[in-house]
């Protein structure tokens, strides 16, 4: 049976060594090297079963870090040099499960045995999939909503997140009212469990959940890049698939969503601007550290005999086409205007079948690991890349 992963956050080397010595035979120990503002990104990337946090020389910062980690779905055990009542109370209020003396070797082993499940049974949570358009109008929102419906129909727990915080269309595509917004979830993330989350955000008749900024556009600018990573890590703990629409370009918000994704579907059509942009995007993704196993090409409105074939696209971009979706404008626009999934409007359409037979299995494939590069890592290099892309 595989050992559970334990992430240790401690500023003192002797504390790191004490925890490692106590747990090395029962757990895989990861010593945090992240800056305080990047702890959530590090947690999301490594998906440990348990996080052990040592009270630092500045307890207030420790408790803030604990609260952020708990909000992202972490199970936190706190250790301290003494059982200071203020430290214990602060840790519990921040959401920690236990407070132990760092010298309590047996207590630490018991806590890890009790709270940590091996990664082969617990798993890192669901999969975050971001749709990245190569230009406007390639159909990302339609694909995201209909794929979400197909996955839900296949027995998955699915949430579609609309990160176009000002003019997102996901709610309209499914004829859903705006209810609990993204900023609402972020404000209450430490108090939401699965049942309360399900009851709060918009629910389609199929069971598909949708989280958008709704009508609270005035609050959209309050969402920070770090919170994007935090939100997607939290949702990943509660849903099998989290489908992210509204990611466009290479600004910090988009990069945060892409970093937190296990899969990026680059959506293009069979025209020269879309294919050229796809090549530029893939080149930039590679410079950002995203492996080709994380990025897939998806050709929408595919036609079999145009000048730009799937082979031309593959030769131009250097990446195989993972899936194609048939061109059925009538079915697609009818579904959009009626606020219904394609399955309800045109169950026999080739487009409907392509989503069910090509995209659903694509997301079921193993090996969709997260990229190795975190959002806050190499940020200056990313900005340089971003500038270079703008001059291409």
pLDDT per residue, tens digit, the chain (392 aa), is: 578 899 999 999 999 999 999 999 999 999 998 888 889 888 888 889 899 999 998 999 999 999 888 877 788 999 999 989 899 989 888 888 889 999 999 999 998 888 775 443 334 578 999 999 999 999 999 999 999 999 999 999 999 999 998 888 999 999 998 888 998 888 888 778 888 888 889 999 999 999 999 877 778 788 888 788 888 988 988 899 999 999 988 888 899 899 889 999 999 999 999 999 999 999 999 988 888 889 999 999 999 877 899 999 999 999 999 999 999 999 999 999 999 999 999 999 999 999 999 999 988 754 344 444 443 334 434 444 444 344 33
Distance CA 134, CA 379 (A): 23
* Final residue in a domain of this structure, among 103, 122, 141: 122
Looking at the structure, tell me whether residues 247 and 342 fall in a common domain. yes
Do 62 and 150 lie in one domain? The reply is no
The dihedral built from the CA positions of residue 248, 251, 256 and 261, taken in this order, carries a sign that is: positive
Q: Are residues 279 and 306 in the same domain?
A: yes
Among candidates 31, 25, 26, 33, which has minimal Cα distance to 51?
31
- Domain boundaries, position 173: 127-390
Same domain, 240 and 200: yes
On whether both 52 and 138 belong to a single domain, the answer is no
Quick one: DSSP state of residue 16? H
- Domain end among 78, 104, 122: 122
Instruction: Give the up-direction half-sphere exposure of residue 82: CA atoms within 13 A in the CB hemisphere.
Output: 5
Query: Domain ends where: 122, 142, 176?
Result: 122
- Quote the number of domains for the chain: 2
Position 353 scores a pLDDT of 96
Half-sphere exposure of 302 (CA within 13 A, CB side): 20
* Residue 292 shares a structural domain with residue 185: yes
Other C-beta atoms closer than 10 Å to the C-beta of 383 total 13
Question: Within this chain, do residues 273 and 197 fall inside the same structural domain, yes or no?
Answer: yes
DSSP bridge partners of 181: 212
Q: Looking at the structure, do residues 254 and 377 belong to the same domain, yes or no?
A: yes
Residues 58, 174, single domain; the answer is no
DSSP character string of 173-227: HTT----SBHHHHHHTTTT--HHHHHHHSEE-TTS-EEEB-TT-GGGGGG--HHH
Beta-strand runs (E) in the chain: 5-9, 28-31, 50-54, 76-80, 98-101, 127-133, 158-162, 202-203, 209-211, 241-245, 263-268, 295-302, 321-326
pLDDT of residue 306: 77
Q: Got the DSSP string for 96-125?
A: -SEEEETT-HHHHHHHHHHHPPPHHHH-S-
Do residues 139 and 111 share a domain?
Answer: no
Q: Looking at the structure, tell me whether residues 114 and 152 fall in a common domain.
A: no
Closest CA to 5 of 40, 57, 52: 52
DSSP 138: S
Tell me what pLDDT residue 194 has: 83
Cα(160)–Cα(137) distance, integer angstroms: 19
The pLDDT value recorded for residue 373 is 41
Do residues 64 and 193 both lie within one domain?
Answer: no
Quick one: which H or E segment has residue 276? Answer: helix 272-287
Q: What is the CATH number of the domain that holds 256?
A: 3.40.50.300
Torsion of CA 134, 333, 147, 352, to 10 degrees: -120
Look up the CATH number of the domain holding residue 33: 3.40.50.2300
Q: At what angle do helices 39-46 and 225-236 cross, to 10 degrees?
A: 30
The CA-atom distances, in angstroms, between 148 and each of 53, 91, 136, 369 are 37, 38, 21, 20
Q: What per-residue confidence (pLDDT) applies to 117?
A: 54
Q: Rounded to an integer, what distance in angstroms lies between the CA atom of residue 239 and that of residue 194? A: 9
pLDDT confidence of residue 1 = 53
């Amino acid at each position: 049976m595989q050992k559970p992963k334990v992430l240790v956050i401690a500023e003192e080397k002797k504390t790191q060594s004490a925890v490692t010595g106590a747990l090395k035979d029962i757990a895989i120990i990861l010593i945090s090297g992240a800056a305080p503002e990047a702890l959530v990104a590090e947690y999301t990337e490594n998906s440990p079963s348990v996080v052990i946090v040592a009270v630092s020389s500045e307890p207030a910062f420790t408790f803030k870090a604990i609260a952020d980690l708990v909000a992202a779905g972490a199970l936190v055990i706190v250790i301290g040099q003494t059982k200071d009542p203020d430290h214990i109370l602060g840790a519990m209020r921040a959401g920690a499960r236990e407070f132990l003396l760092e010298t309590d070797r047996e207590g630490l082993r018991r806590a890890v045995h009790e709270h940590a499940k091996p990664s082969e049974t617990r798993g890192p949570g669901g999969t975050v999939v971001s749709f990245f358009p190569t230009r406007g109008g390639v159909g990302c929102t339609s694909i995201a909503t209909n794929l979400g419906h197909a996955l839900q129909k296949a027995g998955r727990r699915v949430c579609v997140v609309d990160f176009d915080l000002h003019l997102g269309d996901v709610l309209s595509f499914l004829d859903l009212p705006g209810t609990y917004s993204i900023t609402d979830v972020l404000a209450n993330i430490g108090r939401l469990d699965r049942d309360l989350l399900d009851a709060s955000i918009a629910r389609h008749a199929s069971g598909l959940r949708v989280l958008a900024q709704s009508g609270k556009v005035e609050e959209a600018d309050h969402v920070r890049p770090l919170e994007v990573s935090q939100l997607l890590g939290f949702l990943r703990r509660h849903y099998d698939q989290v489908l992210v629409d509204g990611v466009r370009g290479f600004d910090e918000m988009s990069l945060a969503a892409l970093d937190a994704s296990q899969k990026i579907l680059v959506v293009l059509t069979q025209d020269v601007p879309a294919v050229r942009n796809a090549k530029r995007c893939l080149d930039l993704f590679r410079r950002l550290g995203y492996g080709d196993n994380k990025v897939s090409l998806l050709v929408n409105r595919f036609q079999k005999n145009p000048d730009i074939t799937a082979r031309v696209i593959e030769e131009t971009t250097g990446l195989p086409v993972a899936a194609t979706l048939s061109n059925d404008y009538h079915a697609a626009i009818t579904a959009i205007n009626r606020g219904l999934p394609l399955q309800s409007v045109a169950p026999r359409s080739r487009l409907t079948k392509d989503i069910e037979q090509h995209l659903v299995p694509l997301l079921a494939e193993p090996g969709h690991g997260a990229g190795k590069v975190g959002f806050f890592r190499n940020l200056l290099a990313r900005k340089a890349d971003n500038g270079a892309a703008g001059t291409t």
